[in-house]
Amino acid sequence: MFLNLLKIFIPTVAAFFIGLLITPIATHFFYKYKMWKKYSRNDDVSASDFKKIHNEKEELNTPRVGGIIIWGSVLVTTFLVFLLPIFFPSDFSNKLNFISRDQTFIPFFTLIIGSLIGFWDDLIQIFGKGKFARDDKSWRNWKVLTILVLSLSIGFWFYFKLGITGIHVPFGGTIYLGVLIIPLFIIVALGTFSSGVIDGIDGLSGGVFATIFASYSVIAYANNQINIAAFSGVLAGAILAFLWFNIPPARFYMGETGIMGLTLTLAVLAFLTDSVLVFPIIALPLVITSLSVILQMASKKLRHGKRIFKLAPIHHHFEAIGWPSYKVTMRYWIFSIIFAILGIILAVVS
């Protein structure tokens, strides 16, 4: 038991400090090559409330690829624990390696591939020209198609390679879905990815994601999935390193290279830890964020332009009614911690 805790704790702390070490180097390149959006959202948004709360100058001078800090820290940490038993062979150094075919290969693969696809999207909006650089509807459709293809591939791996055919119902046993587990994963992955709009206030997404991944480390540990627990802990540590520099005033934003990798990885972890139905509780801030956008769009379409919220996503609504951005962020963090604890209890006890 003690060795299992060390296997989680040591890589988690290592990822945090590696993130702190690589950030000054990465930040230098972010600013040197002006890796920020060239077009403001104000160009496409007519809502006066948004223009009042949105700092256009800040957006157009702050790098949007900060997610590199997160997956870069995870990559370096993973590489180090892989090399450790080669140069310092022992039972302990062998145990620190948390990459395994049945537990962490797929979430690690998802994180890296999703982050690289997101990085490609960021580069288009940074250095590209024309409608794609403005993240127009046609480009967003291509992104959704990319997520569909990646999710389909992962769903096939779940069903055919890992034999995942059902989901656990808290206090109700297991529902066997068979091959339907594949479309279910696609739906969960798309829904989780849609919540990426939470990356809209300094420090907001970092605090929420760190809490969620930390909770999955606890759930995996309770399930005796020690490799997943260590991997989730490493992600939480890397996100906290990102958050260290993302609190106001942010030195960079997470960007698609952070959001895409993290949201897709969360969907994978929900299935691997058999906590799909608890996932919406653990990640309730993400769910509410996504739902607020959907409800706003539906209301404007069905009610002849009438809005439910002053702004969507909902964290901008709170800003529009007078909450300072730091207050929105801190309350989101508190909200996230409360429901993460509730989700852990449901996942573990049931």
pLDDT of residue 47: 52
Q: Where are the domains of the chain?
A: 2-277+344-349
pLDDT of residue 35: 92
Give the number of residues written for the chain. 350
Q: Cα–Cα distance between 175 and 62 in angstroms, integer?
A: 46
Cis amide leading into 313 (omega within 30): yes
Here the tokens at position 117 are 């696809």
pTM: 0.94
Question: Dihedrals φ, ψ of 175, to 5°?
Answer: -100, 120
CB environment 114-128: b (16+ within 10 A), e (fewer)? bbebbbebbebbbeb
pLDDT of residue 20: 97
Q: Cα–Cα distance between 329 and 320 in angstroms, integer?
A: 14
Q: How many CB atoms lie within 10 A of CB 53?
A: 18
pLDDT of residue 24: 96
Per-residue pLDDT of the chain (350 residues; tens, 9 = 90+): 888 999 999 999 999 999 999 999 999 999 999 998 776 654 444 455 666 666 555 666 899 999 999 999 999 999 999 999 999 899 889 989 999 988 999 999 999 999 999 999 999 888 877 666 666 666 678 888 999 999 999 999 999 999 999 999 998 889 999 999 999 999 999 999 999 889 889 999 999 999 999 999 999 999 999 999 999 999 999 999 999 999 888 999 999 999 999 999 999 999 999 999 999 999 999 999 999 999 999 999 998 889 999 999 999 999 999 999 999 999 999 999 999 999 999 999 97
